[in-house]
Structure 1
Amino acid sequence: MSQWLTLFQKEILEMWRNLKWIWVPITFILLGVSEPLTSYYLPQIIKSFGGLPEGSVIDILPPTAGAVLASGLSQYSTIGVLIIVLGTMGVIAGERKSGVAAMILVKPVSYFSYVTSKWAGSLLLVWFSLFIGYLSTWYYTGQLFEWVDFGEFLQSFVLFGLWLTVVLTVTVFLSSALLAPGMAGFISLALTLVVSIVSGALSHLLEWSPSQLTSYASALLIVGELPDDTMPTGLLAILAIVILLWLSVFLFKKKELAS
């Protein structure tokens, strides 16, 4: 356990040196604040562009607070996922390519501790960034529109965080299986995009797809209750995370021993 904690602390320190603990949370905060501000000032923004006939009246019904919060979550489904993939695609592949991984594994370090400590460090960064970013969305939505129940905020945060954990684990898996960080990132983004599109188009058949967690979180905010398939979808997502993490360790060990 002490070995794992040492590697975990090393990963946290490395992210501090790379400024990930600064630019990733700040980016998530900017994404979180942009949606309620844009929704609130949309009539003024349209009016400022001009070009409307004289006497025209802009009458846009204000969205509900839950809809604004759900739209804020959608920002993390696109740009947020991109940031996570770009920030973690080289977490293992980059060290393998540079030879740092071989230097660390020369010491009595287990492959399991090496891979899982890197995954846990990235996971902590993702959940922390998502929380403060989403909290800023909730706060500004309450100030500009209405306050959404904090319990619903927390539930939707956990559901969405679980989906981002799946994305992160897929990226770590590909980073441990491939030597090129760019290829790992490209495949991760492509796979995430395909799964999201297919699950959205065939939502009546793929109710338990982990990517459905995003729509279930939005449904909670807009409708006020969770869909019936939320629990099995969450359990399946956790199972997928465990399997992918085990495969990451297995493939990484196999490739390192082969080399």
Structure 2
Amino acid sequence: MQWATMFRKEMLESWRNKKWIWVPIVFIILAVMDPISTYYLPEIIQSAGGFPDGTVIELPDYAPAEIMMMSLSQYSTLGVLLVAFLAMNPIAGEKASGVSELILVKPVSYTNYITTKWASLIVLVGVSSTIGLFAGWYYTNILYGNLPFMTWAKGVLFYGLWFLLVISLAILFNTFVSKPGIVVFLTIVSVMLLSLLTQVIGHILTWSPGHLSTYVQELLRTNTISEKLLGTAFTSLALSILLVVLSVYSFRRKQNG
């Protein structure tokens, strides 16, 4: 009962802060930017001028799966940055302002306090990013050809585990420091290090979350869920749960220490 009440409070706060309006809009822009700009690139280049009359600019034919991966690549860069900024404040900001102390004066479970903030971020980012990718899928089907809906849906589901991991990392760093800017920095650095490590010894870390985008690309292209994708999904989910458990432990220790 307490958990549900606190979760509703977090969701209501997100609505009051207009996050349920601007976050989906940003994700939509990220998802449709590449499909639309790539399709109209020849016209854009020609309108810029500087070419002889009769010049024909031809671009390679892109498969629908390749176009969707362009949207996901935007999510992997700017999307991760957006998620880090969204997740920088829920605990660190309340610690800095003293709000968390006022809340925890009441008989509030540390586990409930951490997990409701984690879950509310997952819902906000999950719904918003899915709306964005749906817009990207819509324009992909119109401009480039058909990508089966179920193939798209499976790709979105598996890729969402990457955002889940980023949110879990940010929540953990929220319990370490009270400055939101440092939370963003630590989250981005951790994601970069994970990606770099995966590139360097990816042949060993075949189930590393850093491989998610690569395996999702294979899924979109072949409509086949590989064993490596399932293993990577399991690793990502397990790491996310472990990070949340560590977050509760760290927060409890900080409050009682």
Please classify the TM superposition score into its range, dividing by the shorter chain length: over 0.9
Query: What is the total number of aligned residue pairs between the two structures?
Result: 257
Shift of 1:244: 0.4
How far 1:63 moved relative to its partner?
Answer: 0.8
RMSD over aligned Cα, in angstroms?
A: 1.3
Residue by residue, what CA displacement relative to the aligned partner does 1:12-43 show, whole Å, maximum 9, x if unpaired?
Answer: 11111211111111100111111211121111
Q: Determine the C-alpha separation between the residues in 2 that align with 1:201 and 1:145.
A: 34
In 1, the alpha carbon distance for the partners of 2:203 and 2:114 equals 36
Q: Which runs of 5+ in 2 are unaligned?
A: none
What is the CA–CA distance in structure 1 between the aligned matches of 2:176 and 2:90, rounded to whole Å?
12
Report Cα offsets for 1:45-78 as digits up to 9, x if no partner. 2222222344432121221111001111111001
CA deviation after TM superposition for structure 1 residue 180, in Å? 1.4
Shift of 1:213: 1.0
Moved more, 231-240 or 190-199: 190-199
User: What are the equivalent positions in structure 2 for 1:62-211 lying under 5 Å apart?
Assistant: 62-211=61-210
Distance 1:173 1:128 in 2: 22
Judge which range, 46-55 or 124-133, deviates more. Answer: 46-55
Question: Normalization by structure 2: what TM-score?
Answer: 0.96
Indicate the residue corresponding to 2:215 in structure 1: 216
- Distance in 2, matches of 1:52 and 1:215, equals 38
Separation in 2 of the partners of 1:224 and 1:48? 38
Q: Which residue of 1 aligns with 2:10?
A: 11
Report the Cα offset of residue 138 of structure 1: 0.5
**Deviations 1:111-162, CA, capped at 9 Å, x for gaps:** 0000000000011001001110000000110111112011110111011101
Partner amino acid, structure 2, of 1:193: M
CA contact (8 A) 1:70 1:222 kept: no
Partner of 2:46: 47
The answer to whether the 8 A contact 1:39-1:63 is kept is no
Q: What are the ranges of 5 or more consecutive residues in structure 1 without an aligned counterpart? A: none
Distance (whole Å) between structure 1 residues aligned to residue 245 and residue 190 of structure 2: 19
Residues 187-218 of structure 1: CA deviation (Å, up to 9, x unaligned) = 10111112113313433222111121111111
Using the alignment, how far apart are the partners of 2:213 and 2:153 within structure 1? Answer: 14
Which residue identity lines up with residue 141 of structure 1 in the other structure? T
Q: Give the residue type in structure 1 aligned to 2:136.
A: T
In the alignment, the residues of structure 1 paired with residue 200 and residue 74 of structure 2 have an alpha-carbon distance, to the nearest angstrom, of 20
Query: Which amino acid is 2:127 matched to?
Result: F
Cα distance in 2, alignment partners of residues 70 and 21 from structure 1: 25
Indicate if the aligned counterparts of 1:141 and 1:147 stay in contact, CA closer than 8 A: yes
Alignment of 1:23-34 (within 5 A): 23-34=22-33
Q: How far apart, in 2, do the equivalents of 1:49 and 1:62 lie?
A: 22
Partner of 2:37: 38
CA distance in 1 between counterparts of 2:47 and 2:193 reads 38
Which amino acid counterpart does residue 148 of structure 2 have in structure 1? D
Cα contact 1:93–1:179 (8 A) shared by 2 = yes
> Contact 1:40–1:62 at 8 Å: present in 2 too?
no
Paired amino acid for 1:109: V
